[in-house]
Structure 1
Amino acid sequence: MGEGSLRKRKDQDNRKEDGQSIQSQEPQATNLKKQVGLISGICMIVGTIIGSGIFVSPKSVLANVGAVGPCLTIWAVCGVLATLGALCFAELGTMIAKSGGEYPYLMEAFGPIPAFLFSWASLLVIKPSSFAIICLSFAEYASAPFYPGCDPPPVVIKCLAAAAIVVITIVNSLSVKLGSYLQNFLTAAKMIVVAIIAVTGIVLLAQGKTQNFQDSFKDSKISVSSIGLAFYNGLWAYDGWNQLNYITEELKNPYRNLPLSIIIGIPLVTVCYVLINVSYFTVMTSTELLQSQAVAVTFGDRVLYPASWIIPLFVAFSTIGSANGVCFTAGRLVYVAGREGHMLEVLSYISVKRLTPAPAIIFYGAVTIIYIIPGDINTLINYFSFAVWIFYGLSVFALIVMRFTRKELKRPIRIPIIIPVIVTLISILLVLAPIITAPELAYLYCVLFILSGLIFYVLFVHFKFKWSQKISEPITMYLQMLLEVVPPEEVAE
């Protein structure tokens, strides 16, 4: 590791002896700056959550529960669960005020191995596959108007998705403010399409189009397996509720703005999701919705024709905004992993001119482009929630553990212990549900891949083989000169 990184780690060790390992905030010279305020924080949550999910998942949720009533209930309960989980992360984020989301929480509670496994799975599977799927969804909606009556060619979708990834990566590498402003603009754009769909549904309801809501629980398919799978699809649309914890170090007044962004942002998303689903059911029966290839497009064709082109246009804005939010936050996870020595050291470096974690963001974008090359990346959606809820559950369980093992840490936000207990139990159910109800070898492969990170941890982190350093040092030096980046440095008091 470089001199700057070793000096930083030594300073952190000294703070640990004082019982303030993470909470202390030292003046910084070349480091991430606090540039994200309350409005940008709310936009980051809303903009990241509302992406492609609400335009894809309604069909899957309905297919699993079979009726309008249970479907709307699932969407509301998913919002409550996301809020509870985000409140748990609010306590974690203000108690351990470091960027990187689950990574520093697992490090503090359980040590480096679980934290490394999280970064291993997130950097190579969870985050890039999510980013790639969102960009592919953007490409499909953006190219659809140019191919009326047929599906766009796969090569067009992949090239457009790759272009979106490159643009988003460049924007977030150049400037934190530019990425934040772009997120604010795209969030406003996606709220327009959300408002169009929701208001149209309310107007139709006021006109008496309520026939699809009569006997709304009739013919429902209620079972443990169906509810579990419905939650999987609903929670995919809510994924992103923890994104602000990845940029805690860049939040202005995080003790105030982090919980406020959560309390305002996620309930706002929940209301929007329920209203959008209500609007869908005002113009489509359950059967018609299940037969629709693109629910939002079908809604637009029936209600807004001949201006139905507005829907795919603004859905494209929605998905690209979600992709921008994911890139903005996930790049910080790579940055923190590099800073802790669990990835190449250069990934923890910061641009001298831009003050952004440019190497981490570029690495993340490059890995994501690899994921759009295979023919059918959408199969990863089935296992995304399985992998991510393993670490959501572990992180919330870490909150419970640190209530007893790290009592000395300051907790500006302290939630009732029953909330993390409930979220932990639900996480266990969500992880076990697909294995019990629809066992597949793919879940075993997913677990084995996560555990395979132990091999890399032992070789490159624990033992630090000399030959690996001989390879990484010239790479780090070359990239440092090419990208004009330096290690984060702390100014001596």
Structure 2
Amino acid sequence: MDATFLVAGSMIGSGIFLVTSDMARDLGSSGWLLVTWLLTGVITLFGALSYGELAAMFPKAGGQFVYIKEAWGKLPSFLYGWTVFTVIQTGVIAAVGVAFGKFLGVFFPILVEKTLFSYASVNINGANIVGAVIILLLTLLNTRGIQYGKIVQAIFTSSKLIALSVLIVAGIAVGISSGYFGENFTDMWDASKTTVVDGKVTGIVDLLPIALAIAISTTIINSLFSSDAWNNVTFIAGDIRNPERNLPRSLFLGTFIVTILYILANVAYLGLLPLEGVPQGADVAYTRESVEAAGIQFASSGRVGTSAAYMLFGNIANLLMAVLIMISTFGCNNGLIMAGSRLFYAMSKEGLFFKKANSLNRFGVPAWAMWIQGIWAILLCFSGSYNILIKFATFGSMVFYIVTIAGLFKLRRTMPNAHRPYKAFGYPLVPFLYLVFAVLICVSLTLFTFWDTAGSIVLVLVGIPVYYIFFHKKQQEV
């Protein structure tokens, strides 16, 4: 149960309450919107089912880092760890921490209204400081023993699962009588892309089959980001009882539960709000009329979850949704901080990270690895660039998922007699389909959102000279 809570808790952050707005503008179709979320769930489940075999084969701290090392060697595994440290884990920890601060600003507006200081066009306010403090507190808590992190994870994951379920049930119930289901599911397969420049609609283009396929393959990065971090549980394999049995099970259960909740949340949104809308402008009062006019496509600041809650609860929606997102982000960051440190500990044991990180404190926790991770994440809170880093991180995550699952095929060939307490469900079809989906998405992103993916590729490649300058000689000596 603890491992399943970590999977679900790490996956559910603030994304499910935000990204549907962007996706609705990209697709303009309720049917294809739900198909994209369903496809996201299928891809994630296929990945989790494939990882289950690797997790059972190598139930060690470090998870995905270990799988890549066993299949492909030290350099590829270092490049994965390098990317996780510089961006994937720490960048997300920073962004989630600052998101907590921004929603705390709903109760204490001074946190977001007043710029404390600026540098190089980056404005720092109270939300950045709150994000840093949250990271500091959770890091300190988790250095006192994994049991404290487990308790926090269980409490906050349970809370957000219950709260999200209430939003779904109430939303669908109200939606049945609101008329929006009928409106949104009429011509539900007619897709279009809405282009917005400076807050104004500059064009709406119907999407024919090829254009629709491209739109799905690029906008799915939003839902994939919201569903990411499911692999974090593999990082703490060394702290899980009977990992050969419990890791594959928790990977499946956690991703399955979140997939169902995410699809139903979008059904609830479609029952409470019209899909299509028009920009309302920042100065328009938050009323039922303005929320309905904005629709899902132009929910205020992209906060479609808040707009949906407004249709249910009225003026207190902002407060309720702020509490829900704070619960989500707090629990999400706890899981990320707990898991990430185990990966860096495993890297250090292989001579591929700071030497100090290769130690456990008196509570059996890799405290040095945790503090190194925490300090870098705190610095990113004040960089102003973590949102850009997340774009890099999402593509990078997908690339390394491909590398890892390709390694499953290699290990079946090079280690045919290895002990496999669990074998990947549907092998070779399920892992192969994951690779097909993931490669197509990466190719599409490279072709149509080149600069975001180029940044990710450059970041990975920078790790090559870092490896040869700082770690390769040590590996030869070993």
Match of 1:451 in 2: 461
Residue aligning to 1:365 = 374
**C-alpha distance 454-263 of structure 1, shift in aligned 2 (>3 A):** closer
TM-score (norm 2): 0.85
- 8 Å CA contact 2:178–2:272 kept in 1: the answer is no
Distance 1:65 1:49 in 2: 24
| Superposition deviation, residue 151 in structure 1 | 5.5
2:292 is matched with: none
Is 1:118 the counterpart of 2:80? The answer is: yes
Please state how far the C-alpha of 1:378 moved relative to its aligned partner: 1.5
Cα 1:456–1:306 shift into 2, 3 Å = closer
Question: How far is 1:58 from its partner?
Answer: 1.0
| In structure 1, C-alpha distance between the alignment counterparts of 2:74 and 2:83, rounded to whole Å | 14
Structure 1: 4+ residue segments shifted above 4 A: 150-154
In structure 1, the residue matched to 2:270 is: 281
Distance 1:465 1:267 in 2: 40
Write out aligned runs for 1:87-486 (5 A): 87-147=49-109, 153=115, 154-207=124-177, 209=179, 210=181, 211-220=183-192, 221=207, 223-286=212-275, 287=277, 288-292=295-299, 293=301, 294-308=303-317, 309-352=319-362, 354-415=363-424, 416-440=427-451, 442-464=452-474
SS in 2 for 1:145: coil
CA distance in 2, matches of 1:127, 1:370: 13
**One-letter amino acid of the structure 2 residue matched with residue 387 of structure 1:** G
Q: Which structure 2 residue ranges, 5 or more long, are not aligned? A: 116-123, 193-206, 278-294
Query: In the TM superposition, what whole-angstrom CA distance separates every residue of 1:52-80 from its partner, at most 9, and x where no partner exists?
Result: 11012111222221211111111111111
Q: Distance in 1 between matches of 2:297 and 2:444?
A: 23
SS in 1 for 2:187: coil
Identity %: 26
The residue aligned with 1:25 is none
Tell me if the contact between 2:171 and 2:269 (Cα under 8 Å) persists in the aligned partners.
yes
Instruction: Name whichever of 231-240 and 274-283 sits farther off.
Output: 274-283
Deviation at 1:291, TM superposition (A): 1.3
The AA in structure 1 aligned to 2:142 is: N
The AA in structure 1 aligned to 2:29 is A
* Native 8 Å contact 2:172 2:268 kept in 1: yes
Q: CA RMSD in A?
A: 2.2
1-structure distance, mates of 2:247, 2:108:
41
1-structure distance, mates of 2:309, 2:73? 51
Structure 1 Cα separation of the partners of residues 86 and 214 of structure 2: 29
SS at match of 1:144: coil
Deviations 1:161-196 (A, max 9, x none): 111110111111111000010000111121232022
Q: Is the 8 Å Cα contact of residues 61 and 230 (structure 1) preserved in structure 2?
A: yes
Deviation at 1:143, TM superposition (A): 1.4
Closer, same or farther: CA 137–464 of 1 in aligned 2, 3 Å: same
Per the alignment, do residues 458 and 379 of structure 1 end up closer, same or farther by CA in structure 2, a change over 3 Å counting? closer
Once residues 25 and 80 of structure 2 are traced to their aligned partners in structure 1, the CA distance between those partners, rounded to angstroms, is 32
Q: Is the 8 A contact 1:46 1:266 kept in 2?
A: yes
Partners of 2:87 and 2:473 in 1: CA distance: 25
1:283 Cα deviation after fit: 1.8
Q: Amino acid of the residue matched to residue 312 of structure 2?
A: V
Cα contact 2:446–2:454 (8 A) shared by 1: no
Q: Following the alignment from structure 1 to structure 2, what is the Cα–Cα distance between the partners of residues 97 and 392?
A: 18
1:13 paired residue number: none
How far apart, CA to CA, are the structure 2 residues paired with 1:278 and 1:142? Answer: 27
Q: Partners of 1:458 and 1:357 in 2: how far apart?
A: 26
Secondary structure of the residue that 1:223 maps to in structure 2? helix
**Aligned partners of 2:445, 2:66: CA distance in 1, in Å?**
28
